[in-house]
Every structure is written in C-alpha cells, then in structure tokens.
C-alpha cells in the first residue's frame, strides 16, 4: 500500500513542535510518562512503570507515526502523540496514544496539537478517528470538545499489551471548521 502523505511530518505552531519520535528520545519522554497520575484513567494504568513504558515506546517507534511534543521556547518535551492505521478504502486514519505531563493539562496544548494534526491530515483524508479507553472519561470529554462524535466500541490490542475496550470517535473533514479551532494558534506546516 502506498501512503499518499508522510506519517511523521515535522509540524509546528507558534509555541509547539511535533517532531518525529527517535530512539534517543526515550529518557526525555519517560521522564514525562513516569507519573502514575497520567495513566490513572488509561486502559493500561501501569504504563508509568519503566518496563511497561519501554514496550509502549518500542510500539511508538515501530508505528512510524509517533511524535514527541516539544515546547518551542524551552525545548522541553511535553508528551507524545501518534498517527496510525491509515485505511485507504474509506480514506481514514487514527490519531491517538496521546499523553502529556500533568503540569501541562488544561493549558490548551492538547487542542492545539490535535488541531495541528487535523489540519495536516485533512489535506489527505476524509475521516480522522480516535481510540479512547472506555474508562478514560477525561480524554472522552476532551475529544468531544474538539467536535468528535462516538461512532463505535472496539477492543484494541496496544503493541505488546492485552486487548482493552476502547470507544471510537471520529471527525469528518466537512465538519472540521474554524469554530472547532477556537484559541488554537496559527500553524505552519513543515513536511519532511
């Protein structure tokens, strides 16, 4: 299958960068992920443990679509996100595996990152979907605020982990309008 776009472009807003995840990023990203509070509602609540996170990180690298989220002013790694599971038959893709350090919650980072990815992906696909853990109410609320609608429930096997129940949300390109992007800084796309 030929993919008509890059799974790991370098993207940025005026304050954030999404940079392709590299093996050398493990220590900086684990320093963020080592907080159990991040994973409390996640289907894999033990991901703060280094061996479990190492499996997650290996899956991120293996996916070919993972990013580290970096604060431009300081160079600090804030978290990670990923694009994955491109489906040419219905012209769709997923965004997921997103997490941020709790000190960055509620500061508009997640909506900015999601808008940046959506603006990029809607140049190529008609539908963007999201897997959200069935018990992860915080992420369910956040994705609904962006305009996503729950469309299904699905058991998902994360890389090297057991099946977990997830809700599937989606945003259709035609419904992604500037009203969905309030308070999101303008973006500049730099495609590798």
Mean pLDDT in residue range 129-156: 92
Sign of CA dihedral 46, 51, 56, 57: positive
Mean pLDDT in residue range 65-77: 96
Q: Transcribe 42-93 into DSSP letters.
A: SSSTTTTSHHHHHHHHHHHHHHT-EEEEEETTT--EEEEEEEEEEETTTTEE
Mean pLDDT in residue range 38-47: 88
| pLDDT score for 1 | 55
Average pLDDT of the chain to the nearest whole number: 88
Closest CA to 110 of 85, 139, 133: 139
| pLDDT score for 55 | 94
Mean pLDDT in residue range 4-23: 93
The better pLDDT of the pair 142, 1 is held by 142
Q: Evaluate if residue 188 carries a pLDDT over 50.
A: no
Mean pLDDT in residue range 146-171: 89
| pLDDT score for 42 | 83
What residue ranges define each of the domains in the chain, with the CATH number in brackets?
Answer: 10-184 (3.40.630.30)
Q: Evaluate if residue 32 carries a pLDDT over 80.
A: yes
* Rounded Cα–Cα distance for residues 124 and 173 (Å): 10
Q: Evaluate if residue 114 carries a pLDDT over 90.
A: yes
* Residues forming beta bridges with residue 20, ordered by sequence position: 67
| pLDDT score for 53 | 95
Confidence of residue 2 (pLDDT cuts 50, 70, 90): low
């Amino acid at each position: 299958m030929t993919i008509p776009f890059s799974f790991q472009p370098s993207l940025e807003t005026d304050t954030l960068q999404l940079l392709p995840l590299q093996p050398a990023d493990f220590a900086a990203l684990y320093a963020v992920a080592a907080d159990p509070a991040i994973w409390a509602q996640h289907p894999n609540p033990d991901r703060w443990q280094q061996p479990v996170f190492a499996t997650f990180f290996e899956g991120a690298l293996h996916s070919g679509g993972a990013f580290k989220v970096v604060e431009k002013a300081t160079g600090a790694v804030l978290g990670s996100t990923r694009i994955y599971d491109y489906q040419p038959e219905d012209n769709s893709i997923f965004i997921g595996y997103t997490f941020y350090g709790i000190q960055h919650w509620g500061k508009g980072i997640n909506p900015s990152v999601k808008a940046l990815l959506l603006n990029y992906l809607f140049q190529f696909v008609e539908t963007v979907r999201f897997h959200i853990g069935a018990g992860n109410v915080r992420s369910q609320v956040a994705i609904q605020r962006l305009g996503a609608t729950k469309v299904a429930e699905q058991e998902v096997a994360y890389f090297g982990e057991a099946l977990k129940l997830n809700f599937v949300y989606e945003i259709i390109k035609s419904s992604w309008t500037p009203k969905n992007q309030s308070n999101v800084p303008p973006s500049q796309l730099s495609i590798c």
